[in-house]
Amino acid sequence: MASKDWLDQGTLVLASNNKGKIAEFEKLFEELKLPVNVVPQGQLNIEDAVEDGLSFVENAIIKARHASKISGKPAIADDSGICVPVLGGAPGIYSARYAGEHGDDAANNAKLLTDLAPLRNNGDVIEGMFVCVLALVQHAEDPLPQIFQGIWKGEILEVARGKNGFGYDPLFWLPELNISSAEMTKEEKNKISHRGQAMQLFKASLETN
């Protein structure tokens, strides 16, 4: 059974300075109605950690420990990205800086389209998946981080669609809904997204006795 001692501390630090990600998390945490105050690390003047892990899990833990060490509070971190099997899983953990500069969504999307162009044959479907790993640490040296993972499968479009969301949302197509991730409302996206799935697992962990 996972420990919930961190709930007694009253504050949970969200280890992110990504505005789009923070906005999604604030909505998700609002829906969870946690008995704690969730504070983005930027409000505590905590800069981003150096993400030198080789997996989503490693980087999520690195970010959570970093925020917890500086704040002295329990922290939760998300490491997420898009994986395309025909590219060997790329962009993967390098999704935010795929084109070189961290957080340049337009450049990252353009590079993904360029890399996929030679691999498209007669309009073949190219599968992709959004991945989110949440890591919760009660303190910086926590030997047992809690991990929650969500995977959202779809297809990669040839042309961007939609103005909502951030990151690769305009290129992520959901054939069963006939819509791109960037054409969904926040509420619609949070119900089924990789981040929404991980947060539901987090919520379920709080409800277990």
* Residues identified as active-site: 79
What's the number of CA atoms in the CB half-sphere (13 Å) around residue 107?
A: 9
CA distances from 123 to 81, 126, 135 (A): 24, 9, 38
Query: CA 45, 53, 89 angle in degrees (round to 5)?
Result: 120
Q: Are 169 and 139 in contact (CB under 8 A)?
A: no
Q: 92 — alpha (psi -120 to 50), left (phi > 0) or beta?
A: left
Query: How far apart, in whole angstroms, are the C-alpha atoms of residue 50 and residue 165?
Result: 25
Residues linked to residue 39 through DSSP beta bridges, in sequence order? 13
